[in-house]
Structure 1
Amino acid sequence: MDMILGIDEVGRGPWAGPLVVGAVVLGNDKIDGLTDSKKLTKKKRAALDAEIRRKATGFGLGWVSAQEIDEIGLGAALRLATIRAVEQIKTPYHEIIIDGTINFLRETAKGRYVTTLPKADRLIQSVSAASIIAKVARDRYMSFQDAIYPGYMFSSHVGYGTAAHRIEIDSLGVTPLHRLSFAPLKKYKASTVTTKSLGDGAETIATDYLIALGHVMLERNWKTKFCEIDIVSRRNDVVYFSEVKYRRTHLQGGGLAAVTTKKQQQMKFAADYYVASKKLKNVDLLLTVITLSGIPPKIDTYLELK
């Protein structure tokens, strides 16, 4: 039985978007075609991603946002994403193999079980699988951002520093997805922060937080003439409807204070309307509130409304 925990990262170099680390234990089931995710077509990666998730004994994804990268640095972000991915693995394994030359678990209790191996994503199946699920998840996340930040074509370059991406930044400015600690973007650090950009950034941070909890994003800023929902996501058979509340300072009052009984009734109406309009069946619904404050925004509270 292949009880190796394979680990690989995606998104180390882009100017925008999260860093994602995949961790996979394959077990007995054989999966044909596994290799470095960058060597596969998008269609093949998607097919393998589904098969890996179906057959693997265990898998996890560790997400670190652009804001976190800017705050702690890329090296610490790689360690944090790896730890977050490994924490999701509940199945036993006898060895850990990390693609590359750096043991990102060195400072943890699991560090002594790690072998680092350059090009492991081409040599070790569980590492190949980790690279695939991480890339598919990150690419899908970046494609989702096109609807939120039109004009940046994130689905095309997925945040990398292409010539087209540079032109988009020069024309439109930076978004909360951009890594302002990276040399090409440092000049934007001093840019004027608007209330709208802070609000957009807060919603992006809330989205990243839910993804880190294992949610799959369905909608962001879903609106009709009757109602609107900040974030719609799904985890297992539960559809979550999240209200995001941001305040620059606590002097403005906590975000939870704005979630009155009337607001909760509006949230429930919006959730029921969404389910009816999408014809969803056999799902449980859960309303949540995410409050943030500060510059840059940080999460204060995540509350599930019963």
Structure 2
Amino acid sequence: MSQALQLATRWAVKQIQTICREKGLHFDEIIIDGMVNFLAGTALEKYVTVMAKADGLIPSVSAASIIAKVARDQFMAEQDTIYPGYGFASNAGYGVARHREAIERLGVTPLHRLSFAPLAKYADNEVKLQAASRKNPKHKPTTTRQIGDASEAVAAEELMRRGHRIIDRNWRTRWCEVDIISMKDDIIYFTEVKHRKNNQAGDGIAAITSHKLHKMKLAVKLYSSRKPGDYRLLAVATTGSPPHVINIVEI
């Protein structure tokens, strides 16, 4: 969990820095609610004040806490329509009894953190990601975001069926984003998922422009600077509602 919090903190601060630059704003303090400085070892460490129970002491931190909770609840309510059966709209992803029972019955989704000890057994590739939007036709995704999430879920499931191990989902930097990062036979694959309502004008792979390809190559360059290895690019085309995979090609 501490690694996830560190990553979330650093992503949040990067976004704030970007907004500040765009609007000509400045900050002179970063207050972290808790006991751990997740920016330790970075250039921003000098701005950090670590404060236990800051959400009850500092008005701006209180406001941020409320915004974060509301945003999380809204996100989980959306995910409940994509992955029905887990009760995300009511439990917000917390490990209550009914949620744990649903995992035993349905398996895990891309939302579940497999580094969490009780879920470690699901890290085995033989346990498929549960693509509820496909298995439950009455719960069809409707918004663009829901369709995108459902498309990525079925793409990840298909890659796993083909022997890939999913390393990351929606890996992003300030400059680029990758839908799925997976590994097979010691090769790391960066996958872009493209969905089209129908394939009358060709599948979604045709929508991968030279600009998008450049972004994918940039992502590989940034990622490989920390983790050298053999990298390949994949494109997955999905169609229909709920989405299903119709094509996977190396690009």
| TM category, shorter | 0.5 to 0.7
The residue type equivalent to 1:221 in the other structure is P
**TM-score, with structure 2 as normaliser:** 0.53
The residue type equivalent to 1:136 in the other structure is V
1:142-153 to structure 2, matched below 5 A, reads: 142-153=76-87
Name the structure 1 match of 2:126. Answer: 192
Percent identity, aligned pairs only? Answer: 46
Greater share of strand? 1
Deviation, 1:188, is 2.2
Whether the aligned pair in 2 keeps the contact of 1:97 and 1:114 (CA below 8 Å) is yes
1:1-306 to structure 2, matched below 5 A, reads: 74-89=1-16, 90=20, 91-190=25-124, 192-194=126-128, 197=129, 200=131, 221-222=141-142, 232-233=144-145, 246=155, 248=159, 262-263=201-202
- Give the count of matched residue pairs: 170
The residue type equivalent to 1:77 in the other structure is A
Change (3 A) 1:101 1:180: same
Structure 2 residue runs of 5 or longer lacking an equivalent are 133-138, 165-183, 217-231, 236-251
Distance in 1, matches of 2:111 and 2:46, equals: 35
Change (3 A) 1:86 1:258: closer
Deviation, 1:81, is 0.9
Distance in 2, matches of 1:257 and 1:129, equals: 37
Distance in 2, matches of 1:262 and 1:170, equals: 41
CA RMSD of aligned residues (A): 4.5
Structure 1 residue runs of 5 or longer lacking an equivalent are 1-73, 202-218, 223-230, 235-239, 269-287, 292-297, 302-306
Partner deviation per Cα, 1:61-87 (whole Å, 9 max, x = no partner): xxxxxxxxxxxxx32221221111111
Partner deviation per Cα, 1:189-248 (whole Å, 9 max, x = no partner): 236244xx38x49xxxxxxxxxxxxxxxxx9833xxxxxxxx6149xxxxx9x9759473
**TM-score, with structure 1 as normaliser:** 0.45
Whether the aligned pair in 1 keeps the contact of 2:151 and 2:193 (CA below 8 Å) is no
Change (3 A) 1:220 1:106: farther
Change (3 A) 1:255 1:262: farther
Deviation, 1:124, is 0.4
